[in-house]
Amino acid sequence: VNLMESVLQRRSLQMRNKQHAWEESPEGKKMLQARMSLPAFKEKERLLQAIAQNQVIIISGETGCGKTTQLPQYILESEIESGRGAFCNILCTQPRRISAMAVADRVSTERGEHLGESVGYKVRLEGMKGKGTHLLFCTSGILLRRLLSDRNLDGVTHVFVDEIHERGKNEDFLLIVLKDLLPRRRDLRLILMSATLNAELFSNYFEGAPMIHIPGFTHPVRAHFLEDILEITGYKLTPFNQVDDYQEKLWKTKRQQLPRKRKNNITLLVESALSESSFENYSPKARDSLSSWIPDCIGFNLIEAVLCHICRKERAGAVLVFMTGWEDICSLRTQLKAHPLLGDPNRVQLLTCHGSMPSSEQKLIFEKPPPNVRKIVLSTNMAEASITINDVVFVVDCGKAKETTYDALNNTPCLLPSWISQASARQRRGRAGRVQPGECYHLYPRCVYHAFSNYQLPELLRTPLNALCLQIKSLQVGSIGEFLSAALQPPEPLAVQNAVDSLKMIGALDENEDLTHLGEYLAMLPVDPKLGKMLIMGAFFRCFDPILTIVSGLSVRDPFLLPHEQKDRATTAKSKFSAKDYSDHMALVRAYEGWKEAEREGSAYEYCWRNFLSAQTLQAIHSLRNQFHYILKDAQLLEAEATLNNSLSHNQSLVRAIICAGLFPGIASVVQRETSMSFKTMDDGQVWLHPNSVNMRYETIPYPWLVFGEKVKINTVSLRDSTGVSDSVLILFGGGLINGVSPGHLKMLRGYIDFFMDPTLAESYVNLKQQLDQLLQR
Ligand code: ADP
Ligand code: MG
């Protein structure tokens, strides 16, 4: 122990010398100046003292005041200064991987170091840290995973949980676990950081922990709402008959709920919303459906008009546009690129900002644009709090964010662009006042803003809990329900029950809610349990390669781009990859393999262009594949002899069966009529295929079932991706859900099984036989 102690002391000394050298260098001095200008600096001593005296504290302050980059660094510096640098071990969690990486990068620059020296990061499947790393930025998911194997966080001295105001499910989950840990680790310090001011909520949760607020500096930002914007830009709202058919379809399903007088014309609707008095007269339900219309009919043209106005008439300064999601960002970018002013690279630098962008592009966002060029960043709500772009003077806020809501009653996650909260809208607006007074263009009427809820619903209450429940189980903290009831705002019991049922269904939990062997492995894999199961099955059945692509694709996003204006050409391009497989998943595999081939030939760019594929997404899928591969190898789930893992990859029916095994119980039956086809699931009844699915193109599908990865509810329930499977595959690979198969099919299967299967094979075979016999008797 003494030896260890002295090694650490020596290292601490070295760290101090290094820190001093940097502080005295010219670059170091300059950096220190910049850091000292941040509002957090004035509070430094008070903060350090509070952290020393209390086990838990809660810090709030405006975005950009220096919470994330400065506070953990203050601790590190003061520990180093007092000669204890090598003894401290600081963790700081971020909700998103990109912010963990960006912040770690920034902090190591501020310390005059390379990433991975005293400051590092670790995010899912990726990291940069070394022996000398004492401040680690990680995602909240990573810390949760670490808690699985290291329940007391041995050796950790400080834990920062950042952005708790966002109420992400991992953060809420972490708080339960950490609250439970604190009495066992009296020396551990927990610091919660939040942007907006609902600090009391967290303080109460931690028995009245002290709160410290960092007063910020921001310049005033003028808010323009839709009514003002129409006046400023002279823009005319699009009449109903000009909106495209997708919106028309939406409109048809919605209009029943609207006052009849207003049915004819969206323009009228919006206009009525613009006059506050008439909007107030609507019932809450009508108001809801009315306000949900506004962004749809405004569309991209209004955004274009606002951007033009800024570029032509306004002073210099970057523009930050908040969009609902990645798809919208892509389509808008395509539209703007074609614009004579906005698409001219000599006048406008058009950048995007979203969760999985490559770091080269990420850097550009923070950099100054060339002289006389205006920087426009199209972003998801990513840039709302976790990333700060300093030179933003103009914000355009569409008022919506794509968030998953979860409908526990029919167990469907719904991915809907929904209205943001007032807190988010204020936050977005505040992004324009970083360096000088700013302007914010809210693309919705003022009265709609007043109808927003104050805060957003915590994620724990609006997502399926499968992966979370699996992790709770492997934390060995007792019953899942009881554990979750200790949350800040506990989820509905029904949502918990659904998650437990679904984990039982895929075989991760047994009848007593205990982890099975499969469950133990699945808890280790950083993917959705169903996809984890698909990976493991792919490895066992030796068709690992295509399955790896499919799982990575499902975890990243669809690489097929379907720009609005070229929908037909894009769909045709996509369907070329389907080759009568009746499978979106196989189409993905083909597209990916084609891309690899094109890359080898040096024609990847043309390949993507021709086939409407996103090179960026393919690249992300590619790197995720490598990482999953590594993890499975590490968990010893792959054969040592690499070729063995893929000896059956060419076997299409097998691959189809493994897709079924993974996506089960995501199953829809195909109801074939003479002239039409319809689809049904157990939970929802009638469902539809997503317009982007390759299966949309067939008049008949020669399979009785479709397995699907994701269903989304946008007015109706639709299956985003699907693969046709046969009865036998469903029965053999799908597990318990066989009640819908016809007796004729069952008899045939029973025959198959007796004929083909070696009775000594497995006990599951006996089970299957019994199940089939039972069904046949009914
Ligand atoms: P908070 O966590 O309070 O929102 P941060 O600590 O993330 O604030 O950022 C503090 C300040 O550091 C920002 O206002 C910005 O000036 C600067 N900063 C942060 N990241 C970068 C970066 N990658 N490049 C340049 N400056 C940055
Ligand atoms: Mg921050």
**ipTM of this complex:** 0.98
Q: Considering every ligand atom shown, identify the ligand nearest to the alpha carbon of residue 106 and give its number.
A: 1
Identify the CA nearest to 558 among candidates 722, 713, 673. 722
Best of 191, 388, 390, 431 to mutate for ligand 1, by most ligand atoms within 8 A of CB? 388
pLDDT at residue 298, rounded to an integer: 53
Q: What is the distance in A from the centroid of ligand 1 to the CA of 69?
A: 6
pLDDT at residue 753, rounded to an integer: 56
Task: Give yes or no for residue 390 CB within 6 A of ligand 1.
Answer: yes
Task: Give yes or no for residue 66 CB within 6 A of ligand 1.
Answer: yes
Task: Give yes or no for residue 458 CB within 6 A of ligand 1.
Answer: no
Nearest CA to ligand 1 atom 27: 106
Q: Tabulate helix, strand, coil % of the chain (nearest 5).
A: 50, 15, 30
CB neighbour list of residue 448: distance below 8 Å, 6 or more residues apart = 226, 273, 279, 291, 294, 399, 419
Task: Give yes or no for residue 38 CB within 6 A of ligand 1.
Answer: yes
Q: What is the distance in A from the centroid of ligand 1 to the CA of 380?
A: 18
Q: Considering every ligand atom shown, identify the ligand nearest to the alpha carbon of residue 73 and give its number.
A: 1
Going from the C-alpha of 287 to that of each of 139, 229, 290, the distances in angstroms are 38, 22, 5
pLDDT at residue 683, rounded to an integer: 73
Identify the CA nearest to 168 among candidates 503, 468, 497. 468
Q: Considering every ligand atom shown, identify the ligand nearest to the alpha carbon of residue 59 and give its number.
A: 1
Decide which of 708 and 411 is more confident.
708
State how beta strands 392-397 and 705-708 pair: unpaired
State how beta strands 400-407 and 412-419 pair: antiparallel
Task: Give yes or no for residue 388 CB within 6 A of ligand 1.
Answer: yes
Q: How many CB atoms lie within 10 A of CB 262?
A: 19
Highest mean pLDDT among 27-31, 487-491, 621-625, 680-684: 27-31
Task: Give yes or no for residue 418 CB within 6 A of ligand 1.
Answer: no
Q: How many CB atoms lie within 10 A of CB 277?
A: 8
Task: Give yes or no for residue 365 CB within 6 A of ligand 1.
Answer: no
pLDDT at residue 58, rounded to an integer: 96
pLDDT at residue 210, rounded to an integer: 96
Residues 684/413, Cβ–Cβ less than 8 Å: no
Under DSSP, is residue 151 helix (H, G, I), strand (E, B) or coil? Answer: coil
Q: Is the peptide bond before 665 cis (omega within 30 degrees of 0)?
A: yes
Q: What is the distance in A from the centroid of ligand 2 to the CA of 62?
A: 9
Cα-Cα-Cα-Cα dihedral sign, residues 579, 581, 585, 586: negative
pLDDT digits 0-9 by tens, 138-187: 999 999 989 888 999 999 999 999 999 888 889 999 999 999 999 999 99
Beta bridge partners of 668: 706
Residues 352/361, Cβ–Cβ less than 8 Å: yes
pLDDT at residue 346, rounded to an integer: 94
Q: What is the rounded average pLDDT of the residues 662-680? A: 83
pLDDT at 37 over 60: yes
Best of 41, 59, 65, 106 to mutate for ligand 1, by most ligand atoms within 8 A of CB? 106
Q: How many CB atoms lie within 10 A of CB 363?
A: 11
pLDDT at residue 744, rounded to an integer: 56
Task: Give yes or no for residue 64 CB within 6 A of ligand 1.
Answer: yes
pLDDT at residue 23, rounded to an integer: 95
pLDDT at residue 332, rounded to an integer: 86
Best of 69, 94, 217, 384 to mutate for ligand 1, by most ligand atoms within 8 A of CB? 69
pLDDT cut 90: percent of the chain above it: 40
Q: What is the distance in A from the centroid of ligand 1 to the CA of 66?
A: 6
Nearest CA to ligand 1 atom 22: 106
pLDDT at 731 over 70: yes
Task: Give yes or no for residue 37 CB within 6 A of ligand 1.
Answer: no
Task: Give yes or no for residue 69 CB within 6 A of ligand 1.
Answer: yes
Phi, psi of 36 (to 5 degrees): -70, -15
CA-to-CA distance for 91 and 144, rounded, in angstroms? 12
pLDDT at residue 244, rounded to an integer: 37
Greatest alpha-carbon pair distance for the chain in Å reads 86
Q: Considering every ligand atom shown, identify the ligand nearest to the alpha carbon of residue 43 and give its number.
A: 1
Tell if the pTM clears 0.95, that is, is over it.
Answer: no
CA-to-CA distance for 226 and 236, rounded, in angstroms? 11
Nearest CA to ligand 1 atom 5: 66
Task: Give yes or no for residue 217 CB within 6 A of ligand 1.
Answer: no
287-291, 461-465, 548-552: the lowest-pLDDT one: 287-291
Identify the CA nearest to 43 among candidates 53, 34, 55, 51. 51
User: Distance from CA of residue 756 to its chain's centroid?
Assistant: 44
H/E run at residue 394 = strand 392-397
pLDDT at 207 over 80: yes
Across the chain, mean pLDDT equals 83
Task: Give yes or no for residue 196 CB within 6 A of ligand 1.
Answer: no
Q: Which atom of ligand 1 is nearest to the CA of 40?
A: 3
Q: Which atom of ligand 1 is nearest to the CA of 105?
A: 23
Task: Give yes or no for residue 165 CB within 6 A of ligand 1.
Answer: no
